[in-house]
Amino acid sequence: MIKIELPQPDLTIVKKNTEGDRSEAAIAREYGFIDYHKIARDKGGIYMYYDAQDELMFVGKARKLRMRIRKSFEDAASPIKLHRDDVYKIEVCYVEDPMEREIYETYIINTLKSKYNIDKAFFR
């Protein structure tokens, strides 16, 4: 039997009210994540989006986390494009090994029953 433990987040950022604040990056002004700059530019890992009720919305993996998270808020083809405003919290776990990222992503999607991951959901 294989035993996998959920990784502890290395970074958690929460949406804050930033109306009228022009001092941060565009993603902060548009979506309220003023700590976005704390996500490492050159690290890979997994990211999890939660809503205000702390329900897991989406899990993803990336070779470069900051770019991928930014893209999911800007890209028209993003799986969460219709739910961007509902994202309240982003958790980031740094995982450099691509195989480990894949395993963690699939495990988290199915253990915590992510709402908007459909490709790797075996619990539906």
pLDDT of residue 61 exceeding 80, the answer is yes
Residue 1: C-alpha distances to residues 4, 5, 18, 52, 107 (Å): 10, 13, 47, 35, 14
Residue-wise pLDDT for 32-46, tens only, equals 788 888 999 999 999
Q: Is 7 left (phi over 0), alpha (psi -120 to 50) or beta?
A: beta
CA 8 to chain centre: 14
Q: What is the pTM of this model?
A: 0.86
Model pLDDT, residue 2: 84
Model pLDDT, residue 28: 53
pLDDT of residue 107 exceeding 80, the answer is yes
